[in-house]
Chains A and B, each alone.
Chain A
Amino acid sequence: QKEVEQDPGPLSVPEGAIVSLNCTYSNSAFQYFMWYRQYSRKGPELLMYTYSSGNKEDGRFTAQVDKSSKYISLFIRDSQPSDSATYLCAMSNTGFQKLVFGTGTRLLVSP
Chain B
Amino acid sequence: ETGVTQSPTHLIKTRGQQVTLRCSSQSGHNTVSWYQQALGQGPQFIFQYYREEENGRGNFPPRFSGLQFPNYSSELNVNALELDDSALYLCASSVPTSGGANTGELFFGEGSRLTVL
Binding site for B on A (CB under 8 A): 4, 6, 8, 41-46, 49, 88, 90, 94-104
Contacts and interface: CB of A to CB of B under 8 A. Distances in A.
Contacts of B45: 98-100
Interface in B71-117: 90, 92, 94, 97, 101-106, 108-111
B105 A46 contact: yes
B56 A43 contact: no
A45 B41 CA distance: 16
B111 A43 contact: yes
Contacts of A101: 35, 42-44
A104 B42 contact: yes
A100 B41 CA distance: 12
Contacts of B14: none
B110 A49 contact: no
B102 A44 contact: no
A96 B43 contact: no
B58 interface: yes
B102 A99 contact: no
Nearest to B31: A97
A92 to B, nearest CB: 9
A100 B59 CA distance: 12
B90 A43 contact: yes
Nearest to A44: B108
A11 B35 CA distance: 25
Nearest to A106: B40
B110 A98 contact: no
A4 B44 CA distance: 12
Given A43-B90, A97-B101, 11 more contacts: A8-B40, A44-B43, A44-B90, A46-B105, A46-B106, A88-B42, A88-B43, A96-B94, A99-B45, A100-B45, A103-B42
A90 B35 CA distance: 13
B30 interface: no
B17 interface: no
